[in-house]
Amino acid sequence: MQSLSLRQTSTSKGLNYLTIMAPRNLWHMRSNFLFGSRCWMTRFSAEIIFKSVSFRLFGVKCHNADSEPSENEDLLNNLLTMGVDVDMARKRQPGVFHRMITNEQDLKTFLLSKGASKEVIASIISRYPRAITRTPENLSKRWDLWRNIVTSDLEIVNILERSPESFFRSNNNLNLENNIKFLYSVGLTRKCLCRLLTNAPRTFSNSLDLNKQMVDFLQATCLSLGHNDPTDFVRKIIFKNPFILIQSTKRVKANIEFLQSTFNLNSEELLVLICGPGAEILDLSNDYARRSYTNIKKKLFSLECTEEEVQKFVLSYPDVIFLAEKKFNDKIDCLLEENVSISQIIENPRVLDSSISTLKSRIRELVNAGCNLSTLNISLLSWSKKRYEAKLKKLSRLA
């Protein structure tokens, strides 16, 4: 008797097709795929199933009960009762709804005991549903660790309300504890760690080795630039740029080299820049930073600016490198169209912080108040709303 061998091929998980090599008369199947670990053999006349062919490939669709697992109905009802936006939660982390064991009631009880309102708890779960998978013991330990940094339960609740991922993203409390100890050991203050926890919580999910690599790199950079206080250097950079510990040392090194070579900075000038206004540039993709600076030069050269003016412009406000090419060009064009000179922009680069609509509306208000833009200090175009409006009233009275 001839036999037929059945083998599973690499196919789309959703379709679950098998490819069968079928000889002519009889077939013989062995499949762990269909019936778990059991093997089975069946013999039939091939004429009942196949046309008389030597060999052929054909697909058999197998219904896999695990391909579309059902959602936990009790969990859904509990979340709806708690006021959770189930549609939002399902879009963000759908896998949570297929779990048979969850801790939503324990989470609710725990957060209520820390001063969170029912509305805040519902919002936290809606935006980060994986929070309900954490055990009470894990929550309690993690909370205690956070209190080594944050001064009150209410402050932690406020952070969770803004960014639930910061607390619930990881359940590795030992890694968190080790990172807190390490960051304190390298001279970071409680205030600095709180800033990291609020703005760059992934720092504490990093492996301890990754954080050590970045700190070691920053300390080595400090010493290579002639600064004799690496602890102070690291503290200043991290405070200015809390995201630096979640970047790669390769990226930070490339950006430091870019700044030094592009602006012909000596060691002292480079230290001042990367510990101050240029600290955030260290986050950028090096390719993006180079492209952005190339565009800034091209635009300002077209307006007859010198190389010296371009460098002064960027060094006085390094954040301009973050602006996308089109946005930078459009803002420059907007100001020029409103009779603001390029020399005024060079002297006051922070005006590019404001949106185009804000620039236009404020310029219109200033003109209506009788101001001469050609002699006006245009820095007020980027002031806060309250400060700007107070100045506008004063200018209107003087007109």
Residue 69 per-residue DSSP state: P
How far, in Å, CA of 399 to CA of 395, rounded?
6
pTM above 0.85, yes or no: no
What local confidence, expressed as pLDDT, does residue 299 receive? Answer: 96
- At the top level of CATH, which class does the domain 72-171 belong to? mainly alpha
What local confidence, expressed as pLDDT, does residue 31 receive? Answer: 39
Which phi and psi (to 5°) does residue 147 adopt? -70, -10
Which residues contact residue 363 at a Cβ distance below 8 angstroms, ignoring those fewer than 6 apart? 338, 340, 373, 381
Which residues contact residue 327 at a Cβ distance below 8 angstroms, ignoring those fewer than 6 apart? none
What local confidence, expressed as pLDDT, does residue 311 receive? Answer: 93
Strands of the 5-7 sheet, one edge to the other: 5-7, 17-21, 57-61
How far, in Å, CA of 262 to CA of 297, rounded?
12
The tens place of each residue's pLDDT in the chain, 399 residues long, gives 444 433 333 333 333 433 334 443 333 433 343 334 333 333 334 333 333 333 334 344 444 545 556 889 999 999 999 999 999 999 999 999 999 999 999 999 999 999 999 999 999 999 999 999 999 999 999 999 999 999 999 999 999 999 999 999 989 999 999 999 999 999 999 999 998 988 898 999 999 999 999 999 999 999 999 998 999 999 999 999 999 999 999 999 999 999 999 999 999 999 999 999 999 999 999 999 999 999 999 999 999 999 999 999 999 999 999 999 999 999 999 999 988 999 999 999 999 999 999 999 999 999 988 888 888 889 999 999 999 999 898 888 876
Q: At what angle do helices 118-127 and 153-162 cross, to 10 degrees?
A: 40
Helices within the chain (DSSP H only): 46-49, 73-81, 86-92, 104-113, 118-127, 136-146, 153-162, 165-168, 173-185, 190-199, 208-224, 230-240, 249-262, 267-274, 286-302, 307-316, 325-337, 342-347, 356-368, 385-398
What local confidence, expressed as pLDDT, does residue 396 receive? Answer: 83
What local confidence, expressed as pLDDT, does residue 68 receive? Answer: 59
What local confidence, expressed as pLDDT, does residue 64 receive? Answer: 52
